[in-house]
Amino acid sequence: MANLSDETCEACRIDAPLVSQEEAKALLTNLDDWQLIETPINQLHKVFHFPDYQGSLDFSNKIANLAEQEDHHPKISLEWGKVSVLWWSHKINGLHRNDFICASKTDDLYKEN
């Protein structure tokens, strides 16, 4: 399987297929410590740690820029020394391959710090 970070998000339609549980588990093996949250809808979650607020803020802005580039937008929670990220596809109310692509790209941004 190709590196998810090398892929680009496709435009998500209201009738786009949800990733199956089996596909989600397989795709998770390509990600670094992301958690699958199943309630209330399937989402990918990860917390990133920083030594200060500025690091958290800078990382949040990098994720926001990624989201605009990919036209796919997560929930980002910014705190002192911590950024929590949730990826899911709003139009289909669950997980799409796009979410795994963006999670992988989020990891790449973190590694750049």
CATH fold for domain 19-111: Gyrase A; domain 2 (3.30.1360)
Q: Decide if 103 contacts 60 (C-beta within 8 A).
A: no
C-alpha distances in Å from residue 63, one per residue of 19, 68, 89: 23, 9, 16
d(CA 113, CA 108): 9
Straight-line distance from the first to the last Cα atom of the chain, in angstroms, rounded to the nearest whole number:
26
d(CA 29, CA 76): 23
Predicted pLDDT at 113 = 80
pLDDT tens over the chain, length 113 residues:
458 888 777 777 788 889 999 999 999 999 999 999 988 899 999 999 999 999 999 999 999 999 999 999 999 999 999 999 999 999 999 999 999 999 999 999 999 98
Predicted pLDDT at 9 = 78
**Residue carrying structure tokens 């580039």:** 69
Predicted pLDDT at 2 = 59
d(CA 98, CA 103): 9
Predicted pLDDT at 101 = 96
Helix (H, G, I), strand (E, B) or coil at 46: strand
